[in-house]
Amino acid sequence: MITIKDQDFTVDYRNIRRLAEEIKAAWPTPVVIVHGGGSFGHPMAKKYDITDGVTSDRQIHGFAKTHQAMVELNSIIVNAFLDTGLPAISVSPSSFIVTDDGRISKVDLEIMGKLVVQGVLPFIFGDAVLDRKKGFTILSGDQLAVRLAVSLKATKLIFGVDVDGIFTSNPKLFHKARLIERLESEKVECFANIGKSLSTDVTGGMLGKISEARMAVREGIDVLFVNATEPNVILKALKGEPVTGTILTG
């Protein structure tokens, strides 16, 4: 919903501006926004096989290019939010996070917490980061969002996706797919087709999001999957109003 996923390096400006206005309408609710790579980060990471770590010199350049692609996307989004009058600020994960075999192992969230307390709107993103085992890897925005929510003691974690929530199968591929309004996180495997994707995604698609979100559910955080491409859905979710979507339960 921030990029057009089947068109490399193409931003969905209209949707970004609308989301900025909705979040502004819910402000000053304390919020941290985490976005993924869309058509910027994923194709680059796949091209250079960044997720699997260092196996060739060619990937060193690819690591830098993947990070830069994400910085460019993040800059576009942050500027759109600044234009609405929101105090948006970019925070790069590669500057304060290290992973170990793809999982966050070293992170300093003191600055992030202070930004929120000061009334700033931090924007953080899935990124190419250093990894103790692999040399480097891709840190998904999903893993990052859950870690932030747990560490910062959030009460709510909203996943904005491009469908109305979690379905029994991918509604873009299967016309008989049914929306699951409440889903027990441990029963996800019963729906084998949930994770099938139409575009390049090196971080796990919908199944990856649900798998990461389980930790937040276990910590008592309300987890909601909603359609961020539909007007006012994010606004309603932030304000705690009824909205079409999926509630993930323990």
Q: Is the pLDDT of residue 89 over 70?
A: yes
Q: Is the pLDDT of residue 195 over 70?
A: no
CATH code for the domain of 195: 3.40.1160.10
The whole domain housing 19 covers 13-249
8 Å CB contact between 70 and 95: no
Section 174-195 average pLDDT: 79
Which tens digits make up the pLDDT trace of 14-64? 999 999 999 999 999 899 999 999 899 888 888 999 888 988 989 999 999
pLDDT band for 164, please (50, 70, 90 cuts): very high
The reported pTM is: 0.92
pLDDT band for 206, please (50, 70, 90 cuts): confident
In a domain, 5, yes or no: no
pLDDT band for 202, please (50, 70, 90 cuts): low
In a domain, 146, yes or no: yes
Total number of domains in the chain: 1
In a domain, 43, yes or no: yes
Which residue's structure tokens are 């029994």?
168
In a domain, 2, yes or no: no
In a domain, 38, yes or no: yes
In a domain, 88, yes or no: yes
pLDDT at 191: 58
In a domain, 6, yes or no: no
- Phi, then psi, of 139 in degrees rounded to 5: -95, 115
Higher pLDDT, 187 or 183: 183
Determine the Cα–Cα distance for residues 199 and 192; give it in Å rounded to an integer. Answer: 18
Q: What percent of the chain is helix, strand and coil (3-state, nearest 5)?
A: 40, 20, 35
pLDDT at 173: 86
In a domain, 4, yes or no: no
Strands (DSSP E) found in the chain = 33-35, 88-90, 97-100, 103-107, 121-125, 127-131, 135-139, 156-161, 166-167, 179-180, 182-184, 222-227, 246-249
Angle between helices 13-26 and 58-83 (to 10 degrees): 50
pLDDT band for 250, please (50, 70, 90 cuts): confident
Please, which residues have CB within 8 angstroms of residue 184's CB and are 6 or more apart in sequence? 249, 250
